[in-house]
Amino acid sequence: MAALNVERERLPDPAEGLRLERVTYTSQGLRVKGYLMTGADGGARPPLIYCRGGIRGVGMVRVARLVTLARRGYTVFAPFYRGNEGGEGREDFGGDDRHDLYAAVRLVRALPEAEPLAPALIGFSRGAMMALLAARECEGVGPVVVWGGVSDLRLTYDERVDLRRMLKRVVGHPRKDPAAYERRSPVDWAEDIRSPVLIIHGSVDEHVGVEHAYRLAEALSAAGKPYTLSIYEGRGHVFPREEDEQVLDHLFEWIEQARRTTTR
């Protein structure tokens, strides 16, 4: 994959039948990194991109999470975003670092281990902003799942007092820099989202309030966009393991159904 300036470093196999690599690729001239998990046989599988939450060391990609996705028969790529794990540049919470995801979409579509399908995206927490930005701005994006996702960054500023210092430093103040918050808030441009969306949220999410899910659903509905809303009563930001597996089953059934009924 020399034309894409991609380097692939083999890592210890994470589970039987799966292969893990650390990938270095180029985004806006920066060398950035991510994990690629494929089948051990190297065969082509449906492509999936996992958009992590958090920022920098908080919410970093976990190999165990990728195993739960890849063992369902998918080729999975998870960008770290710039400035992380030895990548160049500086992460800016849905600003220029969104291009790291756009480059990942192009990368995955060129992988021999990926079937010739538009990759599905799963955006967790802050990763929801990234996934929906890609569905707005990037060609070749398949169905999008947002799980515990941020849909209105102004609401995050209001409800997460502990994040205000970071947000003011990285994004700006919502009253002084309203355009920066609008660019990162899918509720403001739902009419431009070009993929079907599955919204998954716990009703007592302590990190990203469930109001984010309702606001996104309302915005998509007003824009006439296809979406499914799944609220899990009594669940927080991270679900118990057994229920997490059940939600993943539902999630992948939805992705396959969305592929059958939607063309891009």
Bridge partners of 30, per DSSP, are: 27
Quick check: is 250 catalytic?
no
Note whether 135 and 142 are within 8 A (CB). no
> Which of the following is catalytic: 125, 151, 185, 195?
125
Q: In whole angstroms, give the CA distance from residue 23 to residue 32.
A: 8
Give φ, ψ of 47 to 5 degrees: -90, 145
> Which of the following is catalytic: 201, 203, 212, 237?
237
Quick check: is 237 catalytic?
yes
Note whether 144 and 254 are within 8 A (CB). no
Query: 89: phi > 0 → left, psi -120 to 50 → alpha, else beta; which?
Result: left
Q: 78: Cβ–Cβ under 8 A, 6 or more apart, which residues?
A: 34, 35, 37, 49, 50, 51, 52, 61, 66
User: How many helices, marked H, and strands, marked E, lie in the chain?
Assistant: 8, 9
Catalogue the active-site residues. 125, 237
